[in-house]
């Protein structure tokens, strides 16, 4: 059995697609997945499966969620080993500490074309600094309004793919939780 992490897009964000984690866990278990655990309230699910194709597992889980929760949800799946490699590479190690938010934007598909990096949004104060294995790494700096820009929409627009975003600190905690 391989241990995986499913990352659901748009769960419990801004009062939309509200989903209880015990119901999500139950749906995954009913689908035959083993040792299912959820992390935080944002649609992070750790599980084990005999399947060895993360893409087909993600499609199956997306269909399952659509049926069980009557919501059009997208799911991206990575093996725990893949996520651990992302954390180990740490493309943020050269980012100056300060008033920044570090985010990983997980892509449902590889972009059609490899972009030239960095990609910068001066309006939203976002900088896409690295892209590897369906993961885009974005540094967000505080805007004049006091808020950070939202990297998910920026990356989806720039790369032309659907994505879901987690803060870097959450990804590191998720790996510890999964292992």
Read off the tokens for 39.
């992390």
* CA–CA distances in Å: residue 104 to residues 9, 83, 112, 148, 167: 13, 11, 19, 14, 6
pLDDT digits (tens, 9 = 90+) for 64-104: 888 887 667 789 999 999 999 999 999 999 998 888 999 99
Q: How high is the pLDDT of residue 20?
A: 83
What distance in Å separates the CA atoms of residue 62 and residue 69, rounded to the nearest whole number? 10
To the question of domain 2-82 being in CATH 3.40.50.2300, the answer is no
């Amino acid at each position: 059995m391989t241990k995986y992490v499913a990352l659901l897009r748009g769960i419990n964000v801004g009062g939309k697609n509200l989903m209880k984690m015990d119901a999500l866990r139950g749906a995954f278990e009913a689908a035959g997945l083993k040792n299912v655990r959820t992390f935080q309230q944002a649609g992070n699910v750790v599980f084990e499966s005999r399947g060895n194709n993360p893409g087909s597992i993600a499609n199956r889980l997306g269909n399952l969620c659509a049926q069980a929760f009557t919501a059009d949800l997208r799911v991206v799946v990575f093996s725990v080993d893949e996520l651990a490699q992302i954390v180990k590479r740490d493309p943020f190690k050269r980012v100056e500490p300060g008033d920044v938010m570090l985010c990983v934007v997980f892509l449902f598909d590889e972009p059609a074309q490899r972009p030239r990096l960095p990609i910068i949004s001066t309006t939203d104060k976002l900088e896409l600094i690295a892209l590897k294995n369906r993961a885009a790494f974005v540094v967000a700096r505080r805007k004049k309004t006091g808020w950070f820009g939202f990297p998910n929409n920026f990356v989806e627009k720039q790369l032309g793919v659907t994505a879901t975003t987690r803060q870097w600190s959450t990804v590191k905690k998720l790996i510890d939780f999964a292992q």
